[in-house]
């Protein structure tokens, strides 16, 4: 369990799509939006936990059609979020107004970005089983480990959001905001494109 917790902390603290989305929302919408995004992402992780525990993730990954559909939907959604960020990185005069009018629920956005990402499904069905100690209690252990993963994720995200909040005044300057929106957009599009070329190697 100690090994699992240490590995999980390393995974959740590693920069990725979740970090990019939380950073974007916290800077543009404040602490409340950042925390809601964190809740949405964690809810998506719990969804993957249930799917992996019940065998649904494995079933999807064994079906080429189902995997392809999930991959394309997830990739397109990430690219959409990235393009949205690039569009919102307008001139300095309009940037703050754009941020005030940010559309979409942070919880919904975080939930969908995580749940529609097949890379997360692959992670759950390849990472968690390595720490199962008993075949007889596999269902319970997978459920517990998935819940611990989600708990550690939300704790890290909350800490990260509060850290961002302290430097938000500097980050809210028009110049920094403009660059942040562009960088976030490029990162999300990059993850989306990479996801399009992801192969189902779990068979």
Nearest CA among 88, 84, 74 for reference residue 193: 74
pLDDT band at residue 171 using 50, 70 and 90 as cut-offs: low
Query: Given this model, what pLDDT does residue 95 score?
Result: 44
Of 55-59, 97-101, 147-151, the poorest mean pLDDT is in 97-101
What is the per-residue pLDDT across 68-85, written as a single tens digit (0 to 9) for each? 776 677 677 667 767 766
Query: Given this model, what pLDDT does residue 134 score?
Result: 67
Query: Given this model, what pLDDT does residue 55 score?
Result: 78
The number of residues making up the chain comes to 203
Q: CA-CA distances (angstroms) from residue 91 to 26, 27, 82, 87, 178? A: 20, 17, 18, 10, 8
Q: Quick one: average pLDDT of 16-39?
A: 87
Query: Given this model, what pLDDT does residue 131 score?
Result: 76
Structure-block tokens of residue 139: 């269902």
Query: Given this model, what pLDDT does residue 161 score?
Result: 92
For residue 134, the SS3 value is: coil
Give yes or no for residue 101 having a pLDDT over 50.
Answer: no
Higher pLDDT, 38 or 168: 38
Give yes or no for residue 38 having a pLDDT over 90.
Answer: yes
- Quick check: 81 and 41 in contact, CB under 8 A? no
What is the per-residue pLDDT across 83-96, written as a single tens digit (0 to 9) for each? 766 776 554 444 44
Residues of the chain with pLDDT > 70, as a percent, come to 68
Q: Quick one: average pLDDT of 189-203?
A: 64
Give yes or no for residue 8 having a pLDDT over 90.
Answer: no
What is the per-residue pLDDT across 142-156, written as a single tens digit (0 to 9) for each? 888 888 989 999 999
Going by C-beta distance under 8 Å and a sequence separation of 6 or more, which residues neighbour residue 146? 45, 46, 48, 49, 50, 52, 53, 124, 128
């Amino acid at each position: 369990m100690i090994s699992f917790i240490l590995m999980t902390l390393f995974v959740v603290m590693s920069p990725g799509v979740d970090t990019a989305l939380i950073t974007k929302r916290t800077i543009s919408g404040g602490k409340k939006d950042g925390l809601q995004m964190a809740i949405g992402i964690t809810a998506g992780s719990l969804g993957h936990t249930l799917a992996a525990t019940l065998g649904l993730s494995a079933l999807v990954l064994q079906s080429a059609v189902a995997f392809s559909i999930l991959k394309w939907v997830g990739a397109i959604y990430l690219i959409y979020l990235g393009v949205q960020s690039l569009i919102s990185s307008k001139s300095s005069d309009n940037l703050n107004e754009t941020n005030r009018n940010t559309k979409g629920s942070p919880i919904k956005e975080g939930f969908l970005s995580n749940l529609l990402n097949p890379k997360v499904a692959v992670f759950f069905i390849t990472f968690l089983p390595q720490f199962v100690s008993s075949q007889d209690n596999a269902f319970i252990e997978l459920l517990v480990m998935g819940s611990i993963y989600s708990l550690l994720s939300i704790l890290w995200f909350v800490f990260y959001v509060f850290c961002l909040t302290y430097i938000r005044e500097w980050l809210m300057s028009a110049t920094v905001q403009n660059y942040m929106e562009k960088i976030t957009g490029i990162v999300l599009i990059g993850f989306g494109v990479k996801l399009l070329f992801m192969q189902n190697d779990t068979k």
